[in-house]
Amino acid sequence: VTIYDVADHAGVAISTVSRVLNESPDVSEPTRKRVEQAIAELKYHPNRTARSLAQQEYRSFAVALPSFTAPFQNELLKGVRSLLREIDHDLLVCDLGSTNQMESLRRFLDRGAVSGLLVCGIELTDELAEELSGARSPAVLVGHSHPGFDSWTWDEAQGAQDAVAHLIQEGHKEIMMITSSVDTPLQSERIAGYQRAMNAAGLSETDQRLVSGTIDYHSGYSEEDGYDAMIQILDNHSACTAVFCCSDVHAVGALKALRERNVSVPDGMALVGYDDVKTSRFIGLSSVDQSAQKIGYAAAKRLHERIKGPLDMAVEHHVIAPSLQVRSSSKSS
Amino acid sequence: VTIYDVADHAGVAISTVSRVLNESPDVSEPTRKRVEQAIAELKYHPNRTARSLAQQEYRSFAVALPSFTAPFQNELLKGVRSLLREIDHDLLVCDLGSTNQMESLRRFLDRGAVSGLLVCGIELTDELAEELSGARSPAVLVGHSHPGFDSWTWDEAQGAQDAVAHLIQEGHKEIMMITSSVDTPLQSERIAGYQRAMNAAGLSETDQRLVSGTIDYHSGYSEEDGYDAMIQILDNHSACTAVFCCSDVHAVGALKALRERNVSVPDGMALVGYDDVKTSRFIGLSSVDQSAQKIGYAAAKRLHERIKGPLDMAVEHHVIAPSLQVRSSSKSS
DNA sequence: CTGTTAGCGCGTTCAC
DNA sequence: GTGAACGCGCTAACAG
């Protein structure tokens, strides 16, 4: 049942049907009624695809991220969703599974047109960045920056340092860190933050205090990884009283391990997971801080503005954990 | 940059370009090379929308659910995503916010075509059911059943009973239940399950043991609701040692309240949240049980099959918590 | 093997 | 106010 059927049924031309669909004022009341009735009787629903094609407007954002079930990503999506609801757009989720995320993203791009793209938690290679610039829809970055792109980032090292300082302040001395089984620049920064906090308090931060899982999955940022690492800690480091996880995903896995071994949190073992922005959050405490949500909203909004009118300056927003003060620095695109 | 540009650039017709795009064998190696090079040089990406229109295949599923950030929904989405990845489809998320979900769903449907629709956690009115049947794409239900639709459901009362029995078995006697601030059939069943478990153990289950939040949000199934109710319990029911939440969302909010009051879990207060399928999960323990994931996968798969070849029997799958045995009953559509 | 052409369903000038 | 005709970018016959 297409627009033609409706037109026939109402005894008008398709353009007239189109007009009532798009709430044009140039339709007389009687014909509008007739058309609306025809639509109802035929249970007609316009074809979103055809409409997109005709007016070159896709009314949908794609969000590319690794595993949308991580707490942080989840909150981020909430924020994005809020904006999308305001502007009546759809949400296309592209989670770039475990293995080669770049390839997944590229394949997704090949799939075609959306209004805009939000790239979260993925470091852009120069090559991929060029592809994105060439794409017909603009992109906004979250968690990484790249010249020429709008982005939202935060101070990874400082965030990690704050988290560990929090544990220290609570009286812990034997603090270990669960790292990812895969080396990434992101992780290096978080480790650096951990070390700074430990050093500042005069505590040991030898390599033996860094434990990573052995399972390589989701680029090393997986629950399995965290689970695995926590088991190691429980088996080999009985003195440890607190653990800082280099990601919230790890913390979820670590919690699972603690459960299995009947270790309570935080009394038996204090646990802090880095959730990318507000670090001093205990996993299991509550839904994550709203920072992530705000970032999601802001990034989506920026994307929308870029789609509407071509802004020619890419802005890098640097978010300072944990209170979400924003320090913007513009760069020429 | 369209397919025409590529054709020009390579000195061929658009159909030839189309052929290499769709990996047709009917292209000579030399021309294929030329076309591929043109594609690369022009950074051409086919327009997904146009392609969908032409071949009447949308290659995307929409999932309609209330708040996709709840643990259960989240896991469900994971499962759906797995299947989608297998069949190379996209995921369109339609979260039907807090207020009038029916209207949100209807508006989403109006937006147009997707290959299939997964409706989760929403009770279908007859009216809406008819609209769905009339839609061009099939729908599969999760959490509710309706004549003529494939569905995945489970025994709400039994699930709740199991959860409470679990608490009882751990020695708790003063067990309260956090309910939703809004009355729903779903909730009634869960309350019934709670009561059955209490009665079976000879424990009191008076109305004073049922506490609901006062904030009406997300149809009553919100974190705020759970938070609110738990505060009430802490303030007014000091004897209480364990709480059963009528949804995992409530449990998340309740945990937050416990945190604020420095009550540990589960030593200070045992907490179980109903997560729709495997109920004996402690919130904060781990990622939710894989049941939800499996259901998501299975439902999406069924949807896919229904899209491919017209199956004319609607099947109601009844899932028995918590081990996910499935008992199917077919009904004529 | 390759080019031509007719749609896919709808929006949008244009005349009438 | 309303209708006819063209175009959006691509696929799928059909010729050649």
- Which residues of B, range 203-232, sit inside 8 Å of A by Cβ? 223
Neighbours of B8 (CB within 10 A): 15
What global pTM score does this model have? 0.76
Residue A245 CB burial class (10 angstroms; 0-12, 13-18, ≥19): buried
**HEC sequence for A26-54:** CCCHHHHHHHHHHHHHHCCCCCHHHHHHH
Q: Phi, psi at residue A141, to the nearest 5°?
A: -100, 140
pLDDT band at B232 (very low <50, low <70, confident <90, very high): very high
How far apart, in whole angstroms, are the C-alpha atoms of residue A20 and residue A37? 11
A158: its two tokens: 């400082």
Residue B266 contacts A, CB cutoff 8 Å: yes
How far apart, in whole angstroms, are the C-alpha atoms of residue B183 and residue A195? 52
Q: pLDDT by residue (tens digit) across A154-199?
A: 777 887 887 888 888 888 999 999 998 888 888 898 899 999 999 9
Residue A266 contacts B, CB cutoff 8 Å: yes
The whole-number average pLDDT for the span B208-224 is 77
How far apart, in whole angstroms, are the C-alpha atoms of residue A148 and residue B157? 56
Percent of chain B at pLDDT above 90? 26
Residue A58 contacts B, CB cutoff 8 Å: yes
A245: its two tokens: 């996880």
Q: pLDDT by residue (tens digit) across A6-46?
A: 999 999 999 999 999 988 888 899 999 999 999 998 888 88
Tracing tokens 């988290």 back to the chain, one arrives at A163
Candidates A111, A228, A231, partner chain B, best to mutate (most B CBs within 10 A): A111
Query: Cβ separation of B110 and A286 shorter than 8 Å?
Result: no
Scan residues 60-119 of chain B and list those with Cβ within 7 Å of strand C: none
The whole-number average pLDDT for the span B28-45 is 91
Nearest to B251 by CA among B237, B230, B277: B230
Candidates A49, A51, A55, A106, partner chain B, best to mutate (most B CBs within 10 A): A49
User: Before A310, cis peptide (omega within 30)?
Assistant: no
Q: Which residues of B touch A60 (CB under 8 A)?
A: 92
B124: its two tokens: 């279908």
Scan residues 11-50 of chain B and list those with Cβ within 7 Å of strand C: 11-16, 19, 26-28, 30-32, 50
Candidates A42, A65, A90, partner chain B, best to mutate (most B CBs within 10 A): A90
Nucleotides of D under 7 A from a protein CB: 1-5, 7-13
- Which residues of A, range 121-180, sit inside 8 Å of B by Cβ? 131, 134-136
- Nearest nt to the CA of B24 via C1' is C1
- Is the predicted pLDDT of residue B331 greater than 80, yes or no? no
pLDDT band at B112 (very low <50, low <70, confident <90, very high): low
Q: pLDDT by residue (tens digit) across A110-158?
A: 666 788 999 988 888 888 888 888 777 889 999 888 999 999 887 778 8
Q: Which residues of A touch B282 (CB under 8 A)?
A: 259
- Is the predicted pLDDT of residue B93 greater than 90, yes or no? no
Quick check: B129 and B72 in contact, CB under 8 A? no
Q: pLDDT by residue (tens digit) across B275-326?
A: 644 333 333 222 234 577 788 888 999 998 888 776 778 888 877 554 333 4
Q: Evaluate if the CB of A214 falls below 7 Å from strand C.
A: no
Distances (CA, A) of A31 to A13, A15, A24, B121, B156: 11, 12, 12, 39, 50
Alpha-carbon radius of gyration of chain A: 25
Written as one letter, the residue type at A327 is: R
Residue A11 contacts B, CB cutoff 8 Å: no
Neighbours of A70 (CB within 10 A): 28
Tracing tokens 């998320």 back to the chain, one arrives at B93
Nearest to A67 by CA among B75, B89, B223: B75
Computed over every residue of chain B, the mean pLDDT equals: 81
Q: CA of A16 and C1' of C14: distance in angstroms?
A: 15
Computed over every residue of chain A, the mean pLDDT equals: 80
Q: Phi, psi at residue A110, to the nearest 5°?
A: -60, -30
- Is the predicted pLDDT of residue A278 greater than 70, yes or no? no
Alpha-carbon radius of gyration of chain B: 25
Nearest to B126 by CA among B134, B116, B118: B134
How far apart, in whole angstroms, are the C-alpha atoms of residue A64 and residue B205? 48
pLDDT band at A98 (very low <50, low <70, confident <90, very high): low
Q: CA of B48 and C1' of D9: distance in angstroms?
A: 9
* Residue A14: predicted pLDDT: 92
* Residue A130: predicted pLDDT: 84
